[in-house]
Amino acid sequence: MTSSEAFNRFHAVIPAGGVGTRLWPLSREDAPKFLHDLTGSGTTLIRSTYDRLTPLAEGRTMVVTGENHRDAVIEQLPELQQSALVLEPEPKDSAAAIGLAAAILHRRDPESIMGSFAADQVIAPVDVFQEAVREAVVTAATGRIVTIGIKPTHASTAFGYIRVGDAHQIPGAPSARHVVEFVEKPSDEVAKQYSGSGDYLWNAGMFVGPVALMLKHLAATEPELHAGLTEIAAAWDTEAQDEVLQRIWPTLPKTAIDYAVAEPAADVGDVSVIPGDFTWDDVGDFAAIARLNPAAQQENMIVLGKQPRVYSEDASGVVVSDTQRVVALIGVENIVVVDTDDALLVTTTDHAQNVKKAVAALKKKGDSDVL
Amino acid sequence: MTSSEAFNRFHAVIPAGGVGTRLWPLSREDAPKFLHDLTGSGTTLIRSTYDRLTPLAEGRTMVVTGENHRDAVIEQLPELQQSALVLEPEPKDSAAAIGLAAAILHRRDPESIMGSFAADQVIAPVDVFQEAVREAVVTAATGRIVTIGIKPTHASTAFGYIRVGDAHQIPGAPSARHVVEFVEKPSDEVAKQYSGSGDYLWNAGMFVGPVALMLKHLAATEPELHAGLTEIAAAWDTEAQDEVLQRIWPTLPKTAIDYAVAEPAADVGDVSVIPGDFTWDDVGDFAAIARLNPAAQQENMIVLGKQPRVYSEDASGVVVSDTQRVVALIGVENIVVVDTDDALLVTTTDHAQNVKKAVAALKKKGDSDVL
């Protein structure tokens, strides 16, 4: 099979879910991370993701998101065909979201190859990413599930890792390697070992594979989920679509695509990896926002917002101004201030990961109106 | 003269001016410090000041404030007679404000004794303060200007000091002492020396004296100011009052009562002091607010506001919440957060004094709408 034949079978899928709790109060249940411009690029993360995939899958990019985000997603992606928008009645984690896309694509064409790329990631340079996806598609066409792993730039404990094995010999995919195993987020010490060894890549959650192969692994690992998705897909593109979706979806089990497909597939040697030599960030917290926005620097402060009115003195860190208010910062180092109409966060870049805990506590306290 | 005769001549004067710039953005040009409840007492500082003086000068308490604060002051002090409210067309510093009160009281009764007590001070216990004022009035009736000095509790560099001399022998004023001199805010080292010596008291800016004697010193030191105030006072309580005030007031020089009256009077031996054995705070900055509000403590945070919705974790300091917004504080120590509708301040208790500088910078930047 030629590379161009493989590409005719390729569909990009963008799962757009996840609130991004560590980015509260900017990111909310009704305005999640992917609907924001977090890099000062002028476009939202989902729009950037879509644009990055267009040269690879023009007119063949599907978005899977929550029913409640329908209007916001269409506003961001007005060219999206109705048949390319899959709306989840409620969040069911990544195995259901990606599995449903796989099942729908499989019903439409059992030979489809899909690539799943989350809506809230920041990648540069784009052409290096695209070349990695091209190799992944070519590798997938040989009957494999292919992930794109990121070369570690530091000993991160925030990501899972991929242990890389021998090289493949696939024409058109010179970088392709076998995956030995996926490993969970490591301790500090283990992360140092992994990132220095050259044998490990970060797991960025990007999966490219023949839908038939992905569904086969899903059926083996999560038969109930597979059965439900198959029933929904059978009704897709028919008049019964919505009725069946609304009836079956709430009954589906919640699990991650990693557990349901990638790891069991790796265990039987079905997974390959393309090492990605591009910078990649999942914008996990406000420290990431500071890191990703050097251009927004005013003296020592990173200042984001439509019309920020920030005064700072002896201060450093990041301010996200979502209001018209004047923000004055005096004598605070590595501060994080996120100013929105109904909620204010004050923390430091060192504590950025703890924001998730605060959101959980606010929910418990009954302050859900601002979540 | 008996103590009761002296009291029949006594009038309290409350100068209510000064924005309290170091308390921005809570304190504003149109809502200065004295109009806020900064101690969690449930009453504003001006109301507390008035109530503290009522047992000493019931129906004989005068307020001098800006025209623009007229309605707010009347709302706070509904019982205030029109003749007891003096409205400045524009701020002209303390010598003009207190001097005008002295000149008006002198026109009404040349034998009047006045006591001037700023509207934005916090004092406890009140009965100890009142006893000190009683001694001051008795001492003033012997023909002296009397200040109430505060026994230093630490080596403050934020206040001027009063050097105390020999004791008087005045019946009804056993604590009265001569004042040797007033001294400016000292350096750290000098402050330590002063506060440890027993010979120095803090200058709290409280002055009690016969209006005739105060005006005599004002005439000698600031003849232009004295002449202007005399002209205004001559028209007071007549139909010409407002016309003359509006015409003369803008021409008056700006200076402090300390320079215009207290210091020159001390130089010629006309000043006495009653040591005040009460706690006294001029609520100069947000560090003072933290200090004065132990009762508002939620775990390690001092939280002030009508309906604060504050979540804190690994955090300490003070939050003033003037909005309905949720405020989340994570991993910030000794933080000061002041959350108002149009401005937000984030600093630390150590930097509380620098807020004044920020306000000056905002003014320069053209952000006067929030000052």
Chain region(s) in chain B for CATH 3.90.550.10: 3-281
Q: What is the four-CA torsion angle of A149, A150, A154, A155, rounded to 10 degrees?
A: -10
Q: Is the reported ipTM for this assembly greater than 0.90?
A: no
B332, B339, B341 ranked by CB distance to A347: nearest: B332
- For domain B3-281, give the CATH number: 3.90.550.10
Phi/psi of residue B99, each to 5°?
Answer: -60, -40
B311 to A347: CB separation less than 8 angstroms, yes or no: no
Q: Which residues from B are below 8 Å from A344, CB to CB? A: 325-328, 337, 339, 344
Joined tokens for residue B260: 């215009």
Q: Does B287 touch chain A (CB under 8 A)?
A: no
Across the interface, whether the CB atoms of A328 and B313 are under 8 A apart is answered: no
The tens digit of pLDDT for each residue in A241-283 reads 999 999 999 999 999 999 999 999 999 999 999 999 999 998 9
pLDDT of A73: 97
Nearest to A132 by CA among A62, A56, A210: A56
Over residues A66-122, the pLDDT tens digits come to: 999 999 999 999 999 999 999 999 999 999 999 999 999 999 999 999 999 999 999
pLDDT of A2: 65
- Residues of chain B predicted below pLDDT 50: none
Looking at beta carbons, which pairs linking B55-58 to residues 24 or more positions away fall under 8 Å?
B55/B130, B56/B7, B56/B10, B56/B12, B56/B115, B56/B130, B56/B133, B56/B134, B56/B137, B57/B10, B57/B11, B57/B12, B57/B115
Cβ distance A129 to A52 under 8 Å?
yes
Q: What is the pLDDT of residues B173-206, one digit of tens each?
A: 999 999 999 999 999 999 999 999 999 999 999 9
Q: What pLDDT does A41 receive?
A: 84
Q: List residues bridging with B327 in a β-sheet.
A: A344, B310
Q: Which residues contact B38 (CB under 8 A, 6 or more apart)?
A: B23, B26, B45, B122, B283, B289, B292, B293, B304
User: Please, is B188 exposed, middle or buried when counting C-beta atoms within 10 Å of its C-beta (0-12, 13-18, 19+)?
Assistant: exposed
Please give the C-alpha separations between residue A179 and each of A251, A272, B129, in angstroms, as whole numbers: 33, 5, 81
Distance from CA of A121 to the nearest CA of B (A): 26
Contact A311 B348 (CB under 8 A): no
Among the partner-chain residues A332, A355, A370, the one whose CB lies closest to the CB of B330 is A355
Amino acid found at B118: A
Distance CA B351, CA A314 (A): 10
Q: Answer whether B314 sits within 8 Å of A351, measured CB to CB.
A: yes
CB contact under 8 A, B328 and A351: no
Beta carbons of A338 and A359 less than 8 angstroms apart: no
- Closest chain B residue to A351 measured between Cα atoms? B331
> Does B341 contact A325 at a Cβ distance shorter than 8 Å?
yes
CA A51-A56-A61 angle, to 5 degrees, is: 65
Q: What is the mean pLDDT of chain A?
A: 94
CA B65 to each of CA B34, B47, B52, B92: distance values in angstroms, whole numbers, following the listed order: 11, 14, 18, 11
- Chain A residue whose CA is closest to B324: A342
Alpha carbon distance B79, B76 (integer Å) = 9
Rounded to whole angstroms, how far apart are CA atoms A234 and B185? 84
List, edge to edge, every strand of the sheet that includes B326-330.
A297-298, A301-305, A317-321, A335-339, A343-348, B326-330, B309-313
pLDDT tens, position by position, A128-160: 999 999 999 999 999 999 999 999 999 999 899
Task: Give me the phi and psi of A273, to 5 degrees please.
Answer: -140, 145
Mutate to test the interface with A, among B22, B298, B325 (most CBs of A within 10 A): B325
Q: By the CB < 8 Å criterion, does B330 face chain A?
A: yes
- B364 shares contact with chain A (CB less than 8 Å): no
Q: Closest Cα to residue A25, out of A358, A326, A365, A366?
A: A358
Spatial separation of the C-alpha atoms in residues A228 and A251, rounded to whole Å: 8
pLDDT for the residue A4: 78
Span between the terminal Cα atoms of chain A, in Å: 50
Secondary structure string (H, E, C) spanning chain B: CCHHHHHHCEEEEEEECCCCHHHCCCCECCECHHHCCCCCCCCCHHHHHHHHHHHHHCCCEEEEEEHHHHHHHHHHCCCCCHHHEEEECCCCHHHHHHHHHHHHHHHHCCCCEEEECCCCCEEECHHHHHHHHHHHHHHHCCCCEEEEEECCCCCCCCCCEEEEEEECCCCCCCCCEEEEEEECCCCHHHHHHHHHHCCEEEEEEEEEEEHHHHHHHHHHHCHHHHHHHHHHHHHCCCCCHHHHHHHHHHHCCCCCHHHHHHHHHHHCCCEEEEEECCEEECCCCHHHHHHHCHHHEECCEEEEECCCEEEEECCCEEEEECCCCEEEEECCCCEEEEECCCEEEEEEHHHHHHHHHHHHHHHHHCCHHHC
Instruction: Answer for the pair B280, B204: CB distance below 8 angstroms, yes or no.
Output: yes
What's the confidence (pLDDT) of residue A365?
85
- Establish if B360 touches chain A: CB-CB under 8 angstroms: no
- pLDDT above 60: residue A1: no
